[in-house]
Chains A and B, each alone.
Chain A
Amino acid sequence: MNRLQSIMEFQNWQTTMAAASDPNRPFITVCGGTGCRVYGSEKVWEAFRTELVRQGANATLDYDVKVTGCHGFCERGPLVVIRPQGIFYSHVKAGDVPEIVSETILGNKIVERLLYVDPLSGAKIEHEQDVPFYKHQKRLILDQNGNLDPAQIDEYIVCGGYASLTKVLTSWAPEQVISAVKASGLRGRGGAGFSTGVKWELCCENVKKAGMGYIICNSDEGDPGAYMDRSVMEGNPHSVIEGMIIGAYAMGIHQGFVYIRAEYPLAVKNLRIAIRQAEAAGLLGKDILGSGFDFSLNVRLGAGAFVCGEETALMASIEGRIGEPHPRPPYPAEAGLWGKPTNINNVKTWAAVPIIINKGADWYAQIGTEKSKGTLIFSVVGKINNTGLVEVPMGVSLRQLIFDIGGGIPKGKAFKAAQIGGPSGGCLPAEHLDVPMDYESLSSLGAIVGSGGLVVADEDTCMVDFARYFMNFTQEESCGKCVPCRIGTKAMLATLERICAGDGKPSDIDYLLELAQMVKNSSLCGLGQTAPNPVLTTIRYFREEYEAHIFDKTCPAKVCKGLITYSIISENCNGCMVCLRECTSNAITGAKREVHSINSELCSKCGVCKEVCKFDAVAVN
């Protein structure tokens, strides 16, 4: 396409495209997010394309098959939604497609067996908007994820994309943009929750003095269990790009970087396509839409270092060095990338900016709580029925998230804890299920909003092992620059490993608490300062589990290998030999139709016998 030379040209283009697109035109959306692709959604959309032709649906109806970004309800993938009605089919296989085309597309009938069944009422639900998982959400940033083909800039523009940018370029002074972002109450969605408007203002002042600066989009989403940044980037990359251009305009900056994890190949691909399209259209580059404002955007791939999510380490990495953080001050707003004033925001923060400009700061500030405005995206994962991405207004309770939207715990097990905010966050127990999800409430309980990762643990999860898991993660990811983090996390991990192995000492809990305070108070960057949180919160809320490991030498959840033994329940064993054959340690003896037995000396506690036994004859004690 030709580069658009003026805002007028953009608006004409937008009007022409909007007029040409019929809002009632039927189309099929197939989720093309990473999760659904793993389930095989690629085969599903290919099947739709061939089947529509084969059954002649397009001769009469002119159907479109659209591969979109992540719809969010990953548990039920591959997801198919037939729009505009919003008919929702889940767990769709390529083999189901001929029936969907003949019944629903051509025959206007519902394929009942593909509908979502509400586990509580048993009712079959036809429409996406009525599915409880979606019904209780408020989707702003993820709003268009299920509608747009992320590889088509036209689609983003038809549904109002880049209108906020043109609004700003036409009639807003940079200061006005900053005031609006400030008034909206938007806080950094990377987790720390600093006021975005204030951050922009500080950076802007420094840019004026230095004569230049940079903006960065932090898309180095390293928290295990969090994947919302990836989904936004995969499903709606233009919303992030638009937010960045607006921010750059507000702060008077002409160059930006997106630092994104290489582990997210689809997000990287869609982002690169989107940047190329925006450049071709004249929305990036020199003299954007004839406004005289220049802004170019580059992509940098992370190379697999969790610490690079920390802003100073991230900048070191963009500069081509190892990702070691440096002490702040100076803050990036004063001396950031290559020593120049730099503003770093998370993917979701940037994506929220066009919404604020479009709908108004007052409108945005109405959503959420007094101090935490807008919406938050959580990835609700772990021992939960409805794994997926959830966008809710700030202030909804943890209970609503886990039970109303998340559908509760699988197999009727009991909820034990929710780990919020990844390895930097904390574990909250059932007694705090009614905590409102906002920055202040969570931090008062020892957790953080953080990345928005929310991992649910049930009665089978050992909280000591859970803490050990996180400590193992942070210990491995510690960059090693400062001693408290490098050695402190190692010492904490060694203690936790000892407790899990059954060698815990009575003094270990106090020792862990002492180490935790030291690491928290004296580490150089956020990684170390928050690393002890999972240990601190599990001791605070699940101290009895630590004590059981240390004093009773038992693991109540029957997880820790050093504290459990496997044995055969002789009444249930019919001597089928399956476990015996699967055991790699040769720890099981017995003969056909004779009760087997497990030699605990040889048993490696891998659990394969329990997994393969069809007669429930393996006990763990």
Chain B
Amino acid sequence: MEVSVSEINDIINREAVGDGSLIAALEEIQERYRYLPPEALILASERLGIPLSQAYSVATFYNAFSLKPKGKHCLHVCMGTACHVRGSPQVLNRLESKLGIKAGETTRDHLFTLETVNCLGACALGPIVVTDEEYSGQMTIQKTDRLLKTILRAEAGL
């Protein structure tokens, strides 16, 4: 996705109301690009009159922000306690071994980003994997394999 300086400026102007609007502005930019391009931090710090170092510290402190572009498909494995006791580590391991990446990484072809989340609060359905905002519940290793297969087939146009 092309990074547009004017679009980032628009977002910052829209969010720059009152004190403490840095996080809200970065959240919107993250939402738009799914990561924070370097321009975002520079523009936000200039527009909001905040040192760049502070914008950088905020961007690296909170889990919601990423300084690296994400893959086309984001897989989130819930690591909440209920999911943990119901087997989410096995599901995560399977995804890691199938994709050849660790949690928090993106595949080299930029097709997948694998991430963990602390709790999605849908504990009755654990373990949960969220694929591009679509929830899949009561995951097993086999269901995980099928999930990946479905995405790959769609990618291959099958």
Are A and B bound to each other?
A: yes
Residue numbers of A with Cβ under 8 A of B are: 34-35, 37-39, 74-75, 77, 221-227, 230, 262-264, 300-306, 317-323, 338, 379, 381-383, 387-388, 419, 422, 453, 455, 457, 461, 466, 469-470, 473, 477, 479, 582, 584, 604, 606-608, 611-612
**Alpha-carbon distance between A127 and B142 when the two chains are bound, in angstroms:** 37
Which residues of B99-147 have CB atoms within 8 Å of chain A's CB atoms?
117-126, 128, 135, 137, 140-142, 145
Output the nearest chain A residue to B54 by Cβ-Cβ distance: A321
A607 and B90 in contact (CB under 8 A), knowing A303-B63, A382-B81? yes
A607 and B141 in contact (CB under 8 A), knowing A305-B62, A379-B123? yes
Partner of B64, one of A223, A225, A262, A453: A262
CB distance from B44 to the nearest CB of A (A): 10
Report whether A303 and B125 are in contact in the complex, using a CB–CB cutoff of 8 Å.
no
A304 and B63 in contact (CB under 8 A), knowing A77-B124, A319-B19? yes
A-B complex: 4 closest residue pairs judged by Cβ atoms: A227-B121, A304-B63, A320-B20, A303-B62
**Alpha-carbon distance between A230 and B123 when the two chains are bound, in angstroms:** 13
Report whether A322 and B58 are in contact in the complex, using a CB–CB cutoff of 8 Å.
yes
CB distance from B95 to the nearest CB of A (A): 11
Residue numbers of B with Cβ under 8 A of A are: 19-24, 26-27, 50, 54, 57-58, 61-65, 79-82, 84-86, 90, 93-94, 97-98, 117-126, 128, 135, 137, 140-142, 145
CB distance from B103 to the nearest CB of A (A): 11
Report whether A320 and B21 are in contact in the complex, using a CB–CB cutoff of 8 Å.
yes
Known: A453-B81, A611-B90, A611-B140. 4 other contacts (CB 8 A): A39-B137, A262-B64, A263-B119, A321-B54
Output the nearest chain B residue to A606 by Cβ-Cβ distance: B93
Output the nearest chain B residue to A234 by Cβ-Cβ distance: B121
Output the nearest chain B residue to A379 by Cβ-Cβ distance: B123
**Alpha-carbon distance between A607 and B91 when the two chains are bound, in angstroms:** 10
CB distance from A413 to the nearest CB of B (A): 12
CB distance from A367 to the nearest CB of B (A): 26
Pairs across A and B, CB under 8 Å, 30 listed: A35-B121, A35-B122, A35-B123, A74-B123, A74-B125, A75-B124, A223-B119, A224-B81, A225-B80, A225-B82, A300-B23, A300-B24, A303-B27, A303-B63, A304-B62, A305-B61, A320-B20, A320-B58, A322-B57, A379-B123, A381-B81, A381-B126, A387-B82, A455-B82, A457-B85, A477-B118, A479-B61, A582-B145, A606-B90, A606-B93
CB distance from B20 to the nearest CB of A (A): 3
CB distance from B62 to the nearest CB of A (A): 4
Please name all residues of chain A whose beta carbon is closer than 8 Å to the beta carbon of B126 when the two chains form the complex: 381
Output the nearest chain B residue to A221 by Cβ-Cβ distance: B121
Output the nearest chain B residue to A324 by Cβ-Cβ distance: B61
Please name all residues of chain A whose beta carbon is closer than 8 Å to the beta carbon of B82 when the two chains form the complex: 224-225, 381-382, 387, 455
**Alpha-carbon distance between A419 and B117 when the two chains are bound, in angstroms:** 20
CB distance from B1 to the nearest CB of A (A): 21
Report whether A224 and B80 are in contact in the complex, using a CB–CB cutoff of 8 Å.
yes
Please name all residues of chain A whose beta carbon is closer than 8 Å to the beta carbon of B58 when the two chains form the complex: 320-322
